[in-house]
Structure 1
């Protein structure tokens, strides 16, 4: 059995994969840790896993932005032990080079992990990790791209609050997607494919739409964590007919993401979609007529959100 938990980490991402391995042992993979103000909640999540007599096998940091590594950084700064077996993240030191692949907080996380004796492994395209029946395949970024993106430390790029909630789904379906994500930090996000018992899942951090399309190509997935909190700037019209999936997850609190056009485009490309989120951000997005048709768009809320369906 595989479960995915999407924790309410404010504007950030914090996910947990829990699955039963071939050995019968339960494994836990954390992907990102939310904003720094989520630090206490992140500590509680980690300690509850251990209290249940399970391990945190891996912590994956998708990229350097504070809304993804903040919760872990909070605990490292406060010298709190989280019993994480190993961390997968990108840093220049892991590849034997002096180049900065990071903003300041990424260096701080890496240094603190080494001080605590927690093993750190790179997540570069072409890397594959296997853990008791599950396969984790890194599709992006490649090393060349990382060094090209980070000649010097870079900060966050703020894209602003969504402004398309006044439009209907029908209108947004037919509007062209305007603008693309231009954040180098986001482009350095890890794109990772997870294979488990015949199912394929895709985790994208805040990756750019064109990079996702490049490394995924014509593929079908049972589950996709949408990039950059459901921003339409991280979606592409070229996905239509190429990346096939009907089950999605969005990590957002509704204050700046997701964009309504993201949902509209997914509806246009699929007969029916299921979207999971940890908050009810859609209540301000849908008009009365759209709410009456909610059976076509399956939103669900809660901590425990997705269980692997049986593959026939």
Structure 2
């Protein structure tokens, strides 16, 4: 069985996966922003109280809303239950250059991991695998060239989607502009495989990179769930990506409003879409009467609030 929590990490990500068989394996993907620091400590304590460890902590990429939540934990704890960390970019010039980004934070994190003698693997590129009893994780992106760009140039991260359009979904202007952030392009794209179930985790990667990776490694596969990239941003979810992803349920991790053009694209490309959200950002004055009539009542779009409750698969 798989237990999964998409924790309420504000505008960031923190996903706890628990694979239960003869041996319980805990995998945590990302650690949220600095405002998530107490929640990250609580997560570690919950796992520790079960006499378990975090077998693998994956940082999908180095943006603040994916790494800063754990820094306080590492600073305060000499002993840790985290066995292994995956992270991209350690040792590259990005940690010393005066960039407008997460330089100090990621440098602090890497230093703390070394001080605590935590096994840290980098880079994490397509083809990397982590195996455990009954399952494993297969990395299908990024490619080496994409990851190395992070060391050369970091563009200021695009704002997380906070759509201003409040009209009908069916009247939205659909102009796709791809995410240009180098750090997002370098996001780890990984598939958890356990008990014949496959879940796709996309970090903040781009639609183009995800499509390329899925075409290469899982061209005909149906995923039991897909975590949508970049908190549901319209810059990372294209019509082509929606058509490519074969699943019945999509996860969106954000406390901010998702732009209506994203729902429009889903409505145009799929007969039915179920979105599992860890915040109920759509509950207040989001859907118009026409949206409810055309998309919600017809179940073309199904919104499901999961909070950070366990998903059992």
TM-score (norm 1): 0.87
**Is it true that 1:120 corresponds to 2:120 in the alignment?**
yes
Q: Against the structure 1 CA distance between its residues 77 and 260, is the aligned structure 2 distance closer, same or farther, given a 3 Å change threshold?
A: farther
Partner in structure 2 of residue 16 of structure 1: 16
Alignment of 1:163-242 (within 5 A): 163-164=164-165, 166-172=166-172, 175-217=173-215, 218-219=219-220, 220-242=222-244
Secondary structure of the corresponding residue to residue 82 of structure 2: coil
Partner in structure 2 of residue 132 of structure 1: 133
- Measure the CA separation in 2 of the matches of 1:235 and 1:212: 10
User: Are the counterparts in 2 of residues 91 and 110 from structure 1 also a CA contact under 8 Å?
Assistant: no
Partner in structure 2 of residue 100 of structure 1: 94
Partner in structure 2 of residue 300 of structure 1: 305
Q: Aligned pair count?
A: 297
Compute the displacement of 1:240 (Å): 4.6
- Measure the CA separation in 1 of the matches of 2:225 and 2:17: 12
Q: Deviations over 1:36-69 (max 9, x none)?
A: 1110111011101110222211111000111001
More deviation in 297-306 or 153-162?
153-162
- Measure the CA separation in 2 of the matches of 1:15 and 1:295: 31
More deviation in 2-11 or 177-186?
177-186
Compute the displacement of 1:261 (Å): 1.9
Compute the displacement of 1:149 (Å): 3.6
Secondary structure of the corresponding residue to residue 74 of structure 1: helix
**Is it true that 1:262 corresponds to 2:262 in the alignment?**
yes
Q: CA RMSD in A?
A: 2.2
- Measure the CA separation in 1 of the matches of 2:281 and 2:214: 28
Q: Deviations over 1:151-186 (max 9, x none)?
A: 15655333563122x1323234xx433322111111
Compute the displacement of 1:114 (Å): 0.9
User: Are the counterparts in 2 of residues 43 and 82 from structure 1 also a CA contact under 8 Å?
Assistant: no
Partner in structure 1 of residue 50 of structure 2: 52
Partner in structure 2 of residue 111 of structure 1: 111
- Measure the CA separation in 1 of the matches of 2:127 and 2:186: 15
Secondary structure of the corresponding residue to residue 31 of structure 2: coil
More deviation in 10-19 or 82-91?
82-91
Partner in structure 2 of residue 283 of structure 1: 283
- Measure the CA separation in 2 of the matches of 1:109 and 1:224: 28
TM-score (norm 2): 0.87
- Measure the CA separation in 2 of the matches of 1:168 and 1:246: 24
**Is it true that 1:146 corresponds to 2:151 in the alignment?**
no
Secondary structure of the corresponding residue to residue 186 of structure 1: helix
- Measure the CA separation in 1 of the matches of 2:167 and 2:246: 26
Compute the displacement of 1:294 (Å): 5.1
Compute the displacement of 1:82 (Å): 4.2
Secondary structure of the corresponding residue to residue 108 of structure 1: helix
Q: Deviations over 1:254-286 (max 9, x none)?
A: 2xx422222232233222222111111111322
- Measure the CA separation in 1 of the matches of 2:309 and 2:298: 21
- Measure the CA separation in 1 of the matches of 2:236 and 2:158: 14
Compute the displacement of 1:252 (Å): 0.4
User: Are the counterparts in 1 of residues 136 and 193 from structure 2 also a CA contact under 8 Å?
Assistant: yes
- Measure the CA separation in 2 of the matches of 1:304 and 1:80: 30
Compute the displacement of 1:290 (Å): 3.6
Compute the displacement of 1:190 (Å): 0.6
User: Are the counterparts in 2 of residues 128 and 135 from structure 1 also a CA contact under 8 Å?
Assistant: yes
